[in-house]
Structure 1
Amino acid sequence: MSADDALGRRPVKLPANQPERFYRGGAAIAALRGTEPREFGPEDWVASCTTLHGKRDVGLSALPSGTLLRDAVAAHPEDWLGATHLARHGTDPALLVKLLDAGQRLPVHCHPSDRFAAAHYGSRYGKTEAWVVVGAAPGASVHLGFAREQSAETVADWVARQDTPAMLGALNEVPVRAGDTVFVPAGLPHAIGAGVFIVELQQPTDLSVTLEWKGFLDDAAGGHLGLGFETALGCVDRDGWADRLDTLVHGDEEGAAPVRDLFGAPEFFRAERVRAGAELAPSFGVLVTLSGTGVLRTEHAGDVPVSAGETFVLPHAAGATTVDGDLSAVRCLPPA
């Protein structure tokens, strides 16, 4: 791949981008990609223009030429993003995509809303997210939202005492399997269980309020990101969700359609399950190929072969694209 991959005129295949994290995992990512597993490589940040919280460049994706994708987009924004996206979001792709393989249960945590992030973290974006379950071990589950409403005092007490049984016990435990989709609005406390492998779409920040920090982070400051829990816990959704889980979790609806929308949250991000015969409108996007092989037939960049385990960043300037072959993939897109 030459330096031309930075111009934003053709799809670019990306290498893995796995910053070291505080929890174990990554075997499923290695199996999908055909690489060697890393004990603390549970996340692959795909086509990332976002850094880990408090880091200068950790988390940023590099193109095969060595150019950071963030720099390439800044240099050729209309080719990468398109004029409409530029008018709304500037040169920010407004999207973060990860492969996440939980080798152990993640801690109970949540993410701030746009309003809370702007007021307290100086960030344009909060962090609403959604998951496409790629694989799940037998009996695997996730925890989503409190089953019943909790008082601010109760939640603060659990956090102060680091009462893991109380926090987990108060959340809804939801079994998941491959093909399921899960929407996680900002503020919703959650924890991904061991053995769950997902494609994760997020608003482009690394802002997490970690209620259950002990045993995962070095200290409480990592849990509240410097705000103090008295303030940080103001972002937690303390409502009861037991009767509303069907608005968040949906089973596999795999059918014959070549393109199927996965989430009804176009103000945050979009995702499509893609297979042969798909006709894709021009857009900046991220393609994660889950199985099979095929060809992306682009309007302006020719044919691009694609195989299982490969990830691509797709520029707007490549134009309309059709998909041939037996592949199954997820295309992740910025807000509408």
Structure 2
Amino acid sequence: MSIKLYPLVFEPILQDRIWGGTKLKTDLGKNIPTQTTGESWELSTVQDNVSVVKQGEYAGKPLTDLLEQFPAEVLGTKVHEQFGTQFPLLFKFLDAKEDLSIQVHPNDELAKKRHNSFGKTEMWYVMQADEGSRIIVGFKEKSSPEEYLDKLKNKNLIDILNEQPVKKGDVYFLETGTIHAIGAGIVIAEIQQTSDITYRIYDWDRVDANGNGRQLHVEEALEAMNYNPTDTKKEYTKNINESNVTVDCPYFTTNYFPLEGSADITKDGKSFNVYICTEGEYSIDAEGETYSFKKGDTVLIPAALKAFTLNGRATLLEIYIS
């Protein structure tokens, strides 16, 4: 049986979060179930959060089923060779109405040992940022486990962390071990390894309706953390109808692709492509059919679909594995 080749869109998996808001609906058109919807998982094979195809021949089919049936055709020959039938990346939109917790993610080695999971290298593309909003990324100066624990105990951890103002279009690349937090008033497109391992260090002393705080992982974070300052912000070009590299790492490559008119894309079948539309509207012409997309859509192009055309006026993030 051969695969039907077309751009795949998935039902969003919407996650309620204590820090979430309503911008996933107002800005991205998601049908959110609560006033505190913090995340829309656009493309996921995380256990109990597996994406289901929304349209076309495979509507209603979980992504994991497609990967079992057509691994090389969906993932690509090289990605299939490396990951088997596992989808190695997770794509999300986040709406931070309030500050997220200060947290850190383990690397592959530690995540494998502790959780039998991938680590969590990730990147952020800022889609919208309120006036005065900021993020936390890394330490201001070289720190240590002792200083970190002391500052945390005395509730002044923020004093030694690097806070940066953000604006629309900013890109940050967070290697594992980088202490970080997304600040209030920001909508982000996040690209990361397939992992849901987060060590929460400090949650601003928040409590839920029952007076309970969320679980912290202060000790677990000790071994996972990079205590050196890190340069996380990425500068990039914005050439029209071209793939402008923003992040190129062993786990994924992400390009900024400003589309004005038409662009023909040719691939070698080694990796899938994902397009995240952060602004505007566009269509994909493939196999004699036209498929239309808009801001907030995340599209998976199976690797076996090697030639297609992008048409429209849109800002796209283009992601694949090199």
- TM-score with structure 1 length normalisation? 0.83
1:13 counterpart = 2:9: yes
Give secondary structure in 2 for the equivalent of 1:288: strand
Is 2:223 aligned against 1:234? yes
The match for 2:272 is 284
Secondary structure of the residue that 2:216 maps to in structure 1?
Answer: helix
1:130 maps onto 2:123 in alignment: yes
Task: Call closer, same or farther: CA 1:238–1:120 in 2, change over 3 Å.
Answer: same
Does the aligned pair in 2 maintain the 1:8–1:315 contact within 8 Å? no
- Name the structure 1 match of 2:43: 47
Alignment of 1:204-283 (within 5 A): 204-213=194-203, 214-215=205-206, 222-224=215-217, 229-241=218-230, 245=231, 248-251=232-235, 253-265=237-249, 267-274=250-257, 275-276=259-260, 277-280=262-265, 281=267, 282=269, 283=271
* Aligned with 2:94 (options 94, 100, 105): 100
Structure 1 residues not aligned, in runs of 5+: 52-56
Match of 2:52 among 50, 59, 62: 62
The yes-or-no answer on 1:323 pairing with 2:313 is no
The answer as to whether partners of 1:290 and 1:308 remain within 8 angstroms in 2 is yes
Counterpart residue number, 2:29: 34
| Separation of aligned partners in 2, 1:10 and 1:190 | 37
Which residue type is aligned with residue 255 of structure 2? E
Give 1:54's aligned residue: none
> 1:305 is matched with which residue?
292
- Separation in 1, partners of 2:133, 2:4: 39
Q: Which segment drifts farther, 28-37 or 69-78?
A: 28-37
CA shift, 1:121, in A, is 2.0
Query: For the Cα contact (< 8 Å) 2:38–2:95, is it kept in 1?
Result: yes
In the alignment, the residues of structure 2 paired with residue 34 and residue 219 of structure 1 have an alpha-carbon distance, to the nearest angstrom, of 31
Gaps of 5+ in 2: none
8 Å Cα contact 1:109/1:189 also seen in 2: yes
1:102-181 equivalent positions in 2, closer than 5 A: 102-123=96-117, 125-159=118-152, 161=153, 163-164=154-155, 166-181=156-171
Contact 1:47 1:286 in 2 (8 A): no
**Distance in structure 1 (CA, Å) of the matches to 2:183 and 2:197:** 20
Q: Distance between the aligned counterparts of 2:207 and 2:178, measured in 1?
A: 19
1:258 is paired with a residue whose SS is coil
Q: Which residue, out of 265, 283, 294, partners 1:295?
A: 283
* Paired letter, 2:144: S
Counting strand residues as a fraction of each chain, which structure ranks higher? 2
Equivalent-residue separation in structure 2 for 1:208 and 1:92 (angstroms): 20
Aligned to 2:20: 24
Task: Look up the SS of the partner of 1:139 in the other structure.
Answer: coil
Identity of aligned residues (%): 26
Per-residue deviation, residues 64-119 of structure 1 (Å, max 9, x unmatched): 22222122222221221122211111111211111111110011101001111122
Contact 1:210/1:223 (8 A) holds in 2: yes
Give the alignment's Cα RMSD to 1 decimal.
Answer: 2.4
- The number of aligned residues is 308
Structure 1 contact 208–223 (Cα < 8 Å) conserved: no
1:74 to 56, 68, 71: 68
